[in-house]
Each structure stands twice: as C-alpha cells, then as structure tokens.
A and B are shown apart, each in its own frame.
Chain A
Amino acid sequence: MDRVLILDVRDVTFRYSGVARDALRGVSLGVSSGELVALLGPNGSGKTTLVRVALGLHLPRSGSARILSRAASEWSRRDLARVVGVVPQREDNLFPQRVRETVRLGRYPRLGAFGLERAEDRAAVERALERCDVAGLAERWLWTLSGGEYQRVRIARALAQEPRLLVLDEPTASLDLRHEMELFELVRRLVDEQGLAALLVTHDVNLAARFADRLLLLSDGNGVASGTPTEVLRREQAESVFGWPVAVSSFDDRPQITPLRRPS
C-alpha cells in the first residue's frame, strides 16, 4: 500500500496568550496512512496542545501544520471532519442517547443537501458499528455501557466519518487491562486492514511501544525523541523525560520500560 503523508507538522512553536513561555518549541510530527504513531510524554508536556495545533484549532507562532498538504487552519471544520476523525478525551452526554444515534453523528460532515440521510450514510454507520464490534449494542442507551464499550462506540463514531486519519486522545484512561488491550488491538487492526493513519496520545509507554510504528516523545514542549520504539525508548532518554529511574527490557522485540523502586 502506498504511504500517503496525511499529517505533517513541521518545526511548530506555539504560545498561549497571556503566558510567558512557549507551550511547544520547534516540534515536528508526521503521520502517514497505514501507520500508527503514538504521542508520549508526561502531564503538561504539550501533547494536547500539539494535537490542537495539528488540527488547526490553534495557529502556530512559527512553523507549519498541514493536513494533506494544506494548512490545517485553512480547512473548514466540515471538510476537515471528512479527513480526520477525533476521539476527544472528554465529552458531555447531557441528554440520553442510544449507541446508533451517537454513531450517526459521525455522518454529519458527509450528509447531503438539507442534512438528509442517504442509504450510504446508513451503511457507513452499520459498517463502523461492525468494525468496532459494537453492532450488538446499537440499541442500548449510552449510559448503560461499560467504559470499554463506550470508548469503542466513540471510535465507531469517528470511523463513521470515513476519515483517513484517526486521532485518539488518551482513549484507555481508566480502562482495565482487558479493555485496554482490546482497544489497542482494535486501533492496530484498523490501521493494518483499512490503511488508516492513527495518532494516539497516551500515557502508557509500554503499550505504545508494543503497538505503535513510531513514537514521538514530548518533554516540556520539546520533541526530545522521535522514531521507532527502539530508537526512542532508550534508558537515559526515558529517565530524563519522566524524571524517574527505569530499566529497559525487551518483549516481542519491542522495548518495555519498568520503573525502578527508589532505594530508601
């Protein structure tokens, strides 16, 4: 499969208004089709800011953020939503909603004139439900789902957009081991089978190392390392970024990090 560069962030610097220091300093990030890239870093290192700049929600002070070679901020929200599906960290569920209804919302950027739903929209919703293995839950109310089911439903909604890039912001926070694994397997499968590009923001270094093709390690607004897991997760690198002594081992040919007990 030909790799197409979908997200291309180059040398971006960004500062929030009214704040004295840069939130991002000269960070670059590329994501191509059929590739899963994980964005790693401690709290406050700039992961969410980088995603917002990449999606055109913030304008960089310098550098560029492009999606399919067009500046991210120039895309209309509707056009962009046909290319990029996002599963945000948080959202409200103010009023009760069923699973299929929420997945249908993903069709919004692709609806025809007068917002009418066509057969292809309904088919895309069913496809997305199937792919995320939630077709059986389609008639359930959202509030009756487990955390893992709920996250899969939200990924299904992003898939209903039929995007070329999937962005997931901390999708496994507060999930147990099995649901976490299921979710990572699902994303990996979508990348491999559908040729999707995926950008995964996560705290989980070890799972990122096992599932991602490439990692970008952020620290204090700087991109300190990027490349394959083996290139990025070197011991001294990880220790300096996370501020804790670690040991690096290997499992399935992927580096795994074990934090050490601090000698008392």
Chain B
Amino acid sequence: MKWFWLVAALLAALLAGIGLGPAAVPISELWQSPIVRDLRLPRALLGLLVGGSLGIAGASLQSLVRNPLADPFLLGLSGGAGLGAVLAIALHWGGPWAIPLAAFAGALGALGLVFRLGLVGGAELDPRILLLGGVAVGAFCGAVMTAIVSLAEASELRNAYLWLWGGLSGASWDTLRVIALCLPVPVTALLASARPLDLLVLGEEPARHLGADVRAVKRRVYLAASFLTAVSVAVAGVIGFVGLIVPHLGRALVGGRHLRLLPASFLAGGTLLVLADTLARTVVAPRELPVGIVTALVGVPLFAVLLRRWTAY
C-alpha cells in the first residue's frame, strides 16, 4: 500500500510537471506541443532521475558514514564540480557541453581524492576520516575557485557560481540520454549492497560478525553513491536538501531496511524534486525560483508530519 502511494505520488508529480508551466498549453494540445515535448517532459524526467539519484545516494551515504546528518554534497563533490566549471570558463573551453563535462571531471577528481584520503594509514574509509577529508577537499576546491574568480577579469567567470545553482534548466533529451546511461550501474551496485548496509548501520565489527565483507561493501557504496552525486551535480548543479531529508522520509515510510529504503528514497527523491521544480517554475511566473529553496519549502513540512507519525510508535 505504501508502495502504491509512493508510485502514485511520483506519477502525479510527473503529470503536474508536464501539465503545468509558465506558458499556457491547452490540454488538448498537450502531447503535440513542442514546449511539452522538448522542454517539460525531459525536464520532469531529469528531475525524477536527479532527485532519485540524490535520494538513494543520501540514504546509502548516511548509513555508510553512520551519520543521519550526512548529505551527498558533504563529501567535497560540489567544490570539485564548481572548480571544474570555473576552469572551463576561465580557459575558454568551447562547446555547449564544456561546463557540465568539466564539472563532472572536477567532481570525479574530488571523489578520487576523498577516497584516497579515506584509505590513508589503513583508515579503510573510516567515517570520521571520510567526513573530514570531504569537508577539507571541498573547502580547498572552493578556495581555489574563489581565487580564480576574484583574480580573473572575465565577466563570464563571475557567473560561474550561478552555474552551481543551475537547477534543471539544462534538461533536454540529450542530457537524459547521458544520465540514463550513467545511472544503472551505480544504482544496481547500491541495491545489491542493501543487505550488508543493514548490518553496517550497527557498526563495523557487529557487521563483520553477522557475515558482511565490510571493506568491500564500504568501497562499493562510497564509489557508487558519490558517482551518482557527481552525475547529478554535472547536469543540475547543487540541489540541496533532497539527499539529506529524503532518506529520513523513506525511513518514516518504509522503515530502515535498505532493500526497501533505497528504492523508496529513489522514488521519494524523484517525486520531491519534480514537484519542487514544477512549483519553482510556476508560482512566481514569469520568474522562476531556485529549485533548492522549493525542495526545502516542500520537504520540511512533509518531514515534520512524518516525524510525528514516526515517533508515535
């Protein structure tokens, strides 16, 4: 029943995302309109995939670092992506895809660096080392980025920050094709880690005693979740809040077992982002709100309601 509602909510959000927008499209022409075909539909689907990725990545990372406050962007990826974008602009890398590709490369660089730091001295992705390493790498990338921006004279560069908060405006069928190719492997890897993640939440030693190959699971989960985050930031910038709150929404809805929690977080993350983006595009039309603000405005009250149910055991 819960799953029915999760899927129904997602479908409703997708319908709203396709049917509503600042331009008036008569319902009868909904399926022929190029606005719907080329803009709204790819944007809604991109919202589903990015929101879902952030949801599932957030849920797995929270269990990996055993910290309910962990957010996929906590591990330095947004700093790396921003640095990549700034470099692409500063070095005049041409082409319509230069910035997203450079941001993706930057995020992957940060991912690799944090991963390497997490293994220093046999730390074996100790959550504390991972979090500290992530924050440090993120801060370092941010400092380099700020230095480049403030020293350069190119006016375009000052707008590089804007790119990081880009939201879903870059949605197109091409973007969708790329992200659809990137998602299956990491999502499958996370779903396959669902059982050992259940154990990992208890702590590493208890997880070992219950039969989990802790070392392999941690590496797999870190790499898969971070890769999803890197893909998300490359196509949609930093969208806050989804990866932090959606896992808790998921736990309140379907419980803490990852075999249910991970798919539920994907569905709920997709729903939240599609819904938030639809509101962002329509409520102050013709202007548009930053989608990250709307995810918080929609997500927090929802979370508060569920939190009450959750604690009233």
Contacts and interface: CB of A to CB of B under 8 A. Distances in A.
B206 A108 contact: no
Contacts of B66: 92, 94
Contacts of A109: 210-211
Given A78-B211, A115-B194, A95 B206 contact: no
A88 B208 CA distance: 11
A81 B211 contact: yes
B313 A144 contact: yes
B247 to A, nearest CB: 9
A92 B201 contact: yes
A55 B209 contact: yes
Ranked 6 nearest A-B pairs via Cβ: A81-B211, A109-B211, A86-B209, A78-B211, A91-B206, A91-B202
Interface of B: 63, 66-68, 194-196, 198-199, 201-203, 205-206, 208-214, 251, 255-257, 259, 310, 313
Given A96-B251, A101-B255, A88 B206 contact: yes
A77 B208 contact: yes
A80 B214 CA distance: 14
Given A86-B206, A91-B203, A115-B195, 6 more contacts: A77-B212, A78-B213, A84-B209, A93-B202, A98-B255, A115-B194
Given A57-B208, A91-B206, A161-B210, A105 B199 contact: yes
Contacts of A85: 209
Nearest to B313: A141
B311 to A, nearest CB: 8
A194 interface: no
B50 to A, nearest CB: 25
Most chain B C-beta atoms within 10 Å of own C-beta, residue among A80, A96, A105, A161: A105
A94 B68 contact: yes
Contacts of A81: 209-211
Contacts of B210: 81, 105-106, 108-109, 157, 161
